[in-house]
Amino acid sequence: MERNQLFLSYVKIGIRATQEAVKGFLLKAKGVARPKDTLGLTWLYMLGSIAWLITLGTAAMNMRTYLVYNSNSPAVGPVYYTALTIHGWSAMLGLVPDAALAVILYSMYKSDLSVVHVRAVTSLFWIANISLALALFGGPDMAGTCIRP
């Protein structure tokens, strides 16, 4: 009986520690997703550009795989061109603007300048990146543009 109570106390301690860790992580994630100053905006845009870099790199590796695999049939064309579109759009509409704005915001921070409308710039970040992600996933603006063999 005493052993069960000891086990239950360890489980309660583990659950409490996990809840504290999750709460701390969520507070940090909220701080990144909704920054309060220019340096926070810099981190937001830098992390967004890294996310788009990962996306376009994955698409580029898929394209390379489709091109060098000798047993591919011509039916792989739509998949290849989908990866090509993801690669190009992620680079030109995701990575380049986010990275450029991250550099601009960091230079503002180092020059002791600040963004006055942080919430507006944060909202623009989320609107631009979520709408690009929806377009790449085949959102409503892409209806009827599928390539069919």
Q: pLDDT tens-digit profile of 48-72? A: 999 999 999 998 998 888 888 888 8
d(CA 26, CA 71): 47
Q: What pTM does this model have?
A: 0.77
Q: What tens digit of pLDDT does each residue of 92-122 get? A: 999 999 999 999 999 999 999 999 999 999 9
What one-character DSSP code corresponds to residue 148? -
d(CA 20, CA 127): 31
